[in-house]
Structure 1
Amino acid sequence: MVTVEPRVNPEKSAVVAAYRRALPLSVRRAIADRYSVQRRRDVKARIARAAPARHMVRLRAAALARRWRELAVAPGRVVVVDGGQPRIAHVQRDLSPVHARRAGLVAVTRVFRTAGIDYFVVRGKPRGPSVVAVTEGQRRKVIAVLTRLAKAQPAYVNRPGKPMAPGFEAATWRRLAGARVIRLTWFRTTDFGSPVLGERFGCDVEFWTEEDGRLYAPRPERVTEVVDADAEPVLLPDASGWGCGRLKVRTREEFTRPLPDDIRFPVDAVYTWVDGSDPAWLRRRARYAGTAYHAEAANAARYADHDELRYSLRSLATYAPWIRSVYLVTDDQVPGWLDTAHPRLRVVSHREIFRDPDMLPTFNSHAIESQLHHVEGLSEHFLYFNDDVFLGRETLPQDFFLANGIAKFFPSPALVPLGAPGDEDVPVSVAAKNNRALIERKFGATPVQKMKHTPHALRRSVLEEIEREFAAEHAATASHRFRSRDDLAIPSSLHHYYAFFTGRATSARVRYAYLDLSHPNAASRLDRLLAQRNRTVFCINDTLSQEEDTAGHTALLKPFLEAYFPVPSPYELGGDD
């Protein structure tokens, strides 16, 4: 008996194998029941032809994953999550919006200079990416240089407003071949992985087209959309007003001109601070404690120190680097971590600002605040901070002042009760009612809104005028060692209404949060604030707690503040300037 081996068609076997790998048995049976033999053969053939392509896609994906891991594990890089996507981020010790934006601008302009690419820096939008312009005729060279840069320093690229893709992959750049604007984003974070700065702090490269001796912008610009093609570039020695820090940039003359909304006057910051655990200060307070008219006025929680000042100064250095000088007003107390030798910081004793030494010592914040305009060297325009007020994201001077010098204030939806001060009123309401009485007497209007707990934008000349205009009431406030029924709240409220009615202040809005540590949901609100980072200003207050609550509140607050503001400020010993 002769056995005949069946003839095997390798090509047909490969098709069948690919078909079986691609479709489960249940699907194959359904196709067999429904379609003819010839139709099934066509389906099998198409699947077989697609199989190698899918295999190559898998191979490419595996290669990309290996490359991605190689880039991510290099020194100075970590993996972060942004918008639900993993991103390679660069660790930056002095992380801030200005430093991140500056780093991107320096990286782009440096490789352009090295490659001989002609460019100029464009003045972009406030709080937006830096912007560099090149001519359309240099496109191929520019793309090649940026491709190498994005690979050497892993960056993500996109057309503004479109999804970003890894700039360290060649396929990404092929999709951007004709883009008129390319945005490069370097994700940046700290050693602690928080915060993460991304797209708004990158660098846009614009391709300007030349026609009849003029260069035309590819999109609407803030200053001008056309410049002379042959005009000589100029060096702007200080681009800090552009959100890039004190950086010399190569630009065009048109972009160096001051704009109407530019703030060119100096703005200082003033803090009041007390160390409520200082034994010497506690002994002084004990000698006068019986004079407090309301329990809240002498509540130990008012003087508890959770190290807020350290982190408020960090917020200032990170999100308001445009502040000229910082003045810390204290009762001859200095935090041990403070660098008192820093050239832009000065500690001011109460003895320097109270003209009558018999009014000291004082434990009344209203009294201390009444004397702030006596600080020697203080600028006309300044921000007043309590140490429990923090900047939560990047700010500009224009958030607090108009360029013509008018100050902004931020009314709260909370109302001041109508009527005269009474025994049931807490000190803050008493002072607000006293303020209102003066405004009614002077201007015939009745203020009813409280102010938000924000940095207060103040004018020194207005405070001086208030001291002259309401001399008796002002002197009485200054003389009260603890909060009193006759107090005025001058920088936090009276200044704003008085300046408004004399044409030197206007109401405004700010993204803001107020948290009370004594509230049961304080922990969850802190977690949400840290995760979202969507408030320009926030205040963390503690007025109702008892002395025994201090340790628990510190344990709650300190990790939050360290996570939100991990970068030491230049005002700390050992901090970077």
Structure 2
Amino acid sequence: MRSTRRLTPPPEPPPLAPTSPRAPSRRPDPGRTMPLTAPPAAPRPWLADPPPLVRGYRRAVPLRLRRAVVAVTGPGLRRAAMRSLGGLSAASRSLRLRRARRRLRRAGLLAGSGRTVIADRRGGALVATLAPSPTPLFARAENLRLVCEALDRARIDHFVVRCYSNVGSAVGVRADQRDVVVTALATLCAEEAGYVSLPPRRGHPATPPRLGGRRGAWRRLAGASVVRFTRFHTGPGGSGEPGGRLLLGPAHGCDIEFWEPGGQGEERVLIAPRFNRTTASVPLVGEPVRAPDQLFTRLAPPVGWQPGPLVRTRPEFLTRLPDEVRFPIDVVYTWVDGSDPQWQRRRAALAGRGYHAQAANAARYANRDELRYSLRSLYLYAPWVRHIYLVTDRQVPDWLAVSHPGITVVDHHDIFDDPDALPTFNSHAIETRLHHIDGLAEHFLYFNDDVFLGSPVTPQDFFLANGVCKFFPSRALIPLPPVGPGDVPVSAAGKNNRALLAERFGPAITQKMKHTPHALRTSVLAEIEKEFPDAVRATMASRVRSPSDISVPSSLHHYYAFLTGRAVPGHLRYDYFDLAQPTIRTRLARLLRARHCQAFCLNDTVSSEHDLEDQLALVRPFLDAYFPLPSPLERAVTRQETRQPCPSPSPFP
């Protein structure tokens, strides 16, 4: 009997289709965090930005001429030239960085041990504050705290505004107090190595941040109705090069809004300089209130879940909005360690039973440690997740802190009601049983371990406030002919899904789904099990992939929920990376520089065992660079790793 715990107050390519004892099931236990391990080694050079000289060459030389150069030079010569230019650029950049460090130290901006100098992408240098485990939510909270404390010290009336940014914050002040506000902020910038800039506006690029302790920075902002304060945050390890470590900058800054007085008599008000989520004005004289900071960002856990700081605001900003997601959302992973000898022996007993080469390909079971980094991505970019369930076959990663209250390891025996169906090596079969996880929330996200969050996401990216799920159709199509022996598993399952839905509802589905986190409801999954009992039971009983399989959480659920009014198509900035493609190195480097995706998938279904070592050498440096800092779900596994407290609110209760 399963129970549901609720909480109180650029286009993608078509998708291709050490062991430990069983861990006990455990309920979520709020209020604890886990020590962090030390960061991994610095990323490899190929993941850094192209050398400035190379970037200058690309900007200055027309594309047609560059192609002509490529046509008459061999790849070896071009690589040698790139290395030479890279060496010159690195030496020049290192020299500039040392000079900037000396200059900033003389100015007193590197006082103490908590600051460092980072190279920016324009060739300059930035002062950043070191934090053991910086996250977007932590950087946002720190910038807001610094601004509010500075205004309090100067006895300036202010109120936190419910702005549209979830990764930044906003504070309103009276425009006729601009001079004293600027003085207070300039003092803050001088003390904290803070930067000021104009926030980006539609049609106008963001202005580069400048050290706000200098007069010239404020002259450039004279008359601006909104000014952004930023203290840069970075983590330990890495290099001073751009892309060499995690750097949280102006996107997580605090905007100071200058609200103009208006109206007459008792109707005197302060008028907002830009749109926000609740009100265009507040009374000129109003009684301030204090409210949890979680109310002002959808990136934070819901109010009432974890204790958080209180901030000064106005009652008008406490309005409950109809699009607020207040229900708990869990995450479910399915995971296998294909290198485990015991698992290999169990798999060998079923050798030869896969109907298609992809069903038993080594790439499907390869362990590149993706789960570790996918959990890091959750910690960084989805701190509102209530609890994580890891579904495995008598396996636990040796680095996983299984005692952490934010995660429960679920064995296949805990969710399968037919022992004859085990052991199973069919992900389609395992996926038919996810809604039988004890304690799983009604709303949850299903992750494969090769799916990662690439930038902050909110519950609204996956669910509407009324509980409706969002799904993300791909432009890749399900082939129209009936299931045949040549169909890859993902196509065969899609065709079987189509047959069931066409018989039940009429329309014939044609699109596959993107390899994103899948937003699911346990009630819909239970209804599918009752509506199509034979197909679900047959898939559950198939211990390896079969041409009769259906794919429940990754496709059937979305279309069934859509056709019954419980799901809608959504949009997520996403990309898919096939590790077997020759352009993979360049594409991963571009993703690391831009960090423009909310989610991405590193998938491989066709590589042989001989390819896996090369892929590991490619993927691990990329993941180390993108997600350099451990999550609270990792335990120290070597003596060299240190344990540090997590300074930011844990994303896991």
Q: TM-score range by the shorter chain?
A: 0.7 to 0.9
The answer to whether the aligner puts 1:536 opposite 2:607 as a matched pair is no
Query: Match of 2:169?
Result: 130
Task: State the secondary structure of the residue aligned to 1:224.
Answer: coil
CA distance in structure 1 between the partners assigned to 2:138 and 2:299 by the alignment:
7
CA contact (8 A) 1:72 1:78 kept: no
CA distance in structure 2 between the partners assigned to 1:517 and 1:142 by the alignment:
52
The match for 1:482 among 537, 540, 544 is 544
> Equivalent residues in 2 for 1:85-484 (5 A)?
85-127=124-166, 129-161=168-200, 163=207, 164-191=209-236, 192=238, 193-211=244-262, 212=265, 213-239=268-294, 242-243=297-298, 245=300, 246-484=308-546
Which deviates further from its counterpart, 537-546 or 189-198? Answer: 189-198
Deviation, 1:93, is: 2.5
CA distance in structure 2 between the partners assigned to 1:209 and 1:231 by the alignment:
15
Deviations 1:453-473 (A, max 9, x none): 000011111100000000011
Give the TM-score of the pair, scaled to structure 1: 0.86
CA contact (8 A) 2:167 2:297 kept: no
One-letter amino acid of the structure 1 residue matched with residue 179 of structure 2: R
CA distance in structure 1 between the partners assigned to 2:298 and 2:120 by the alignment:
25
Deviation, 1:478, is: 0.3
CA contact (8 A) 1:131 1:203 kept: yes
Deviation, 1:389, is: 0.2
One-letter amino acid of the structure 1 residue matched with residue 129 of structure 2: H
Deviation, 1:378, is: 0.8
Deviations 1:512-547 (A, max 9, x none): 111111222222221111111111111001211112
Query: Match of 2:116?
Result: 77
Which deviates further from its counterpart, 373-382 or 248-257? Answer: 248-257
Deviation, 1:185, is: 2.1
CA distance in structure 1 between the partners assigned to 2:226 and 2:509 by the alignment:
50
CA contact (8 A) 2:270 2:284 kept: yes
> Equivalent residues in 2 for 1:8-47 (5 A)?
none
CA distance in structure 1 between the partners assigned to 2:109 and 2:367 by the alignment:
41
Query: Match of 2:36?
Result: none
CA distance in structure 1 between the partners assigned to 2:179 and 2:453 by the alignment:
43
CA distance in structure 1 between the partners assigned to 2:407 and 2:275 by the alignment:
41
One-letter amino acid of the structure 2 residue matched with residue 132 of structure 1: V
Deviation, 1:244, is: 6.8
Deviations 1:33-56 (A, max 9, x none): xxxxxxxxxxxxxxxxxxxxxxxx
One-letter amino acid of the structure 2 residue matched with residue 201 of structure 1: H
CA contact (8 A) 1:263 1:403 kept: yes
Query: Match of 1:66?
Result: 103
Deviations 1:100-130 (A, max 9, x none): 1111001111122223222111111133531
CA distance in structure 1 between the partners assigned to 2:519 and 2:294 by the alignment:
24
Deviation, 1:72, is: 5.7
Deviation, 1:377, is: 0.9
CA distance in structure 2 between the partners assigned to 1:200 and 1:227 by the alignment:
26
Query: Match of 1:35?
Result: none
Bigger relative contact order, structure 1 or 2 (CA pairs below 8 A, ≥6 apart): 2
Change (3 A) 1:72 1:522: farther
CA distance in structure 2 between the partners assigned to 1:530 and 1:540 by the alignment:
13
CA contact (8 A) 2:422 2:543 kept: yes
Gaps in structure 2 of 5+ consecutive residues: 1-98, 201-205, 239-243, 301-307, 636-642
One-letter amino acid of the structure 2 residue matched with residue 553 of structure 1: Q
CA contact (8 A) 1:517 1:541 kept: yes
Change (3 A) 1:204 1:241: closer
Task: State the secondary structure of the residue aligned to 2:484.
Answer: coil
Change (3 A) 1:289 1:251: same
One-letter amino acid of the structure 2 residue matched with residue 110 of structure 1: E
Task: State the secondary structure of the residue aligned to 1:288.
Answer: coil
Task: State the secondary structure of the residue aligned to 1:291.
Answer: coil
Task: State the secondary structure of the residue aligned to 1:282.
Answer: helix
CA distance in structure 2 between the partners assigned to 1:155 and 1:238 by the alignment:
22
One-letter amino acid of the structure 2 residue matched with residue 196 of structure 1: L
CA distance in structure 2 between the partners assigned to 1:355 and 1:67 by the alignment:
65
CA distance in structure 1 between the partners assigned to 2:192 and 2:116 by the alignment:
10
Change (3 A) 1:249 1:459: same
Task: State the secondary structure of the residue aligned to 1:289.
Answer: coil
CA distance in structure 2 between the partners assigned to 1:196 and 1:69 by the alignment:
24
CA contact (8 A) 2:128 2:232 kept: yes
Change (3 A) 1:244 1:422: closer
CA distance in structure 2 between the partners assigned to 1:427 and 1:64 by the alignment:
56
CA distance in structure 1 between the partners assigned to 2:135 and 2:122 by the alignment:
20
Deviation, 1:137, is: 4.0
Task: State the secondary structure of the residue aligned to 2:585.
Answer: helix
CA distance in structure 1 between the partners assigned to 2:341 and 2:248 by the alignment:
43
Deviation, 1:230, is: 2.9
CA contact (8 A) 1:382 1:459 kept: yes
The match for 1:506 among 552, 563, 568 is 568
Deviations 1:214-235 (A, max 9, x none): 2222233321121123322122
CA distance in structure 1 between the partners assigned to 2:547 and 2:145 by the alignment:
57
Which deviates further from its counterpart, 153-162 or 506-515? Answer: 153-162
Change (3 A) 1:159 1:554: closer
CA distance in structure 2 between the partners assigned to 1:537 and 1:244 by the alignment:
16
Task: State the secondary structure of the residue aligned to 2:351.
Answer: helix
